[in-house]
Structure 1
Amino acid sequence: MDWAGDTLMKLEAQALLRQSLREGGAQQTSDGYLSLYQSWAAVPEQVRSQFGSEPARDGEVLEAVVRNAGEEAFLYLLPFQTETGERRYLLSRHNRADIETLGEEFFSAALMHSLLTTLAVFGLLFALFFWLIRRATQPIAQLSAWAQTLGTRARVDAPHFEIEELNQLAQRMQEGVSRIEAFNEREKQFLKHASHEMRTPLAIIQASLDTLELQTGEAGKASLRRAQLAGANMALLSSALLWLARESPQALKRERVTLDTFFQAIIEDHRYLLTGRDVAVRLELSSDIIKIKKSLLHIVSANLVRNAFQHSSEGEIVVITDSEGLRLTNPINPEDADANVEGFGLGLELVRRICDKLQWRFSVDLTGDGAQVNVIWSPTSHS
Structure 2
Amino acid sequence: MGWATGWRRIVAVVAATGVAAAVAIVAYRVLAPAEVSTTARGDYPALHVPEPGVVGRLPVAPLFVDGRLRVYAAARQVYADSPVDSRYRGTPFWSYRRWPATLDSVVAGGTMVVSRWSDGLLVALDARTGRVAWRADGPRPDGKRAVRRTGTVTVWQPRGLTVSRIPDGRHVVVTSGDGELRAIGLTDGRQLWRVEVDSDCRDLVSAGTGGQLVTSDRCDGPTVIEFRDSATGVVGARWRPPGVGDELAASPIGCGSAGAGCAALRTVGPGDAATRGWLLGPGDPVPATALDDPDTELVGRMAVSLSDGVLVGRSVPDGAQRWRAAVGPGRVIAVQRDRVHVLTEEHQLVTLDPATGAQRSRFLLDIGSDGTGWAPGAAYAADGYVVVERLRRPVDPDGDDQRYYLTAEALIIAATG
Q: TM-score, normalised by structure 1?
A: 0.20
Structure with greater proportional strand content? 2
Q: TM-score, normalised by structure 2?
A: 0.19
Structure with greater proportional helix content? 1
